[in-house]
């Protein structure tokens, strides 16, 4: 399998690399348009800030290429958020794959922002719902995607939000499968099997 991890001078490419290595999967970390479009599968990881990431993707011409990919693509955390239409993080226009917004958590009572830690995934279906569904996954984020028609798993923190989404060949998770132990390994395996 020819797997590409999108490089954008931020992100969690190192920990995603380690997780894929544990699964025995070979991959290439790249921001090269031709390598990404030629890959069998693409992972768009995420840790960082929406606006600066979108600027980098535009410099490389990837902002137009990623939404046109026809192979399976997995967005992780910021990668999922950038697949959406718009982010409240610095009023950023994103890739528009999912025509939904990304909202900022508003702190309430004892709930702190960012949302950090393990949370239960509920209402799992689609690619996450085959066989025993995932349970707890690890989250680190200040922004979230509201529940919408693409949601295939939910989590609650301050408000219910999309823990995972799917639209055609585009798959996305708000949590970090590379840091989610056995559940994360199962999620990566299921993506690699689609």
- The question of whether 185 is a catalytic residue gets the answer no
- Consecutive H or E run containing 5: strand 3-6
Region of 61 on the Ramachandran plot (φ > 0 left; ψ -120 to 50 alpha; else beta): left
- The question of whether 176 is a catalytic residue gets the answer yes
- The question of whether 88 is a catalytic residue gets the answer no
Strands (E), 25-180: 28-30, 41-44, 73-76, 84-87, 92-93, 98-104, 115-120, 136-141, 143-144, 151-157, 159-167, 170-173
Task: State both tokens at 111.
Answer: 């709930």
The one catalytic residue in 77, 89, 94, 141 is 77
Rg (CA), the chain: 15
The one catalytic residue in 63, 115, 141, 176 is 176
Residue 77 gets which letter from DSSP?
T
The one catalytic residue in 34, 84, 178, 193 is 178
Which positions are annotated as active-site residues? 77, 176, 178
């Amino acid at each position: 399998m020819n797997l590409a991890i999108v490089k954008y001078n931020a992100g969690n490419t190192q920990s995603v690399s380690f997780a894929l290595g544990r699964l025995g999967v070979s991959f290439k970390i790249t921001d090269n348009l031709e390598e990404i479009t030629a890959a069998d599968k693409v992972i768009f990881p995420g840790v960082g800030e929406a606006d600066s990431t979108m600027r980098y993707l535009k410099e490389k011409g990837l902002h137009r290429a990623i939404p046109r990919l026809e192979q399976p693509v997995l967005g992780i955390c910021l990668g999922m958020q950038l697949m959406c239409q718009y982010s409240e993080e610095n009023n950023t226009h994103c890739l528009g794959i999912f025509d939904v917004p990304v909202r900022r958590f508003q702190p309430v009572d004892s709930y702190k922002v960012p949302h950090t830690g393990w949370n239960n995934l509920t209402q799992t279906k689609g690619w996450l719902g085959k066989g025993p569904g995932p349970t707890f996954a690890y989250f680190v984020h200040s922004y979230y995607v509201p529940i919408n028609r693409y949601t295939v798993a939910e989590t609650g923190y301050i408000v219910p939000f999309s823990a995972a989404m799917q639209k055609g060949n585009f798959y996305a998770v708000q949590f970090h499968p590379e840091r989610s132990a056995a559940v994360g390994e199962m999620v990566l395996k299921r993506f690699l099997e689609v």
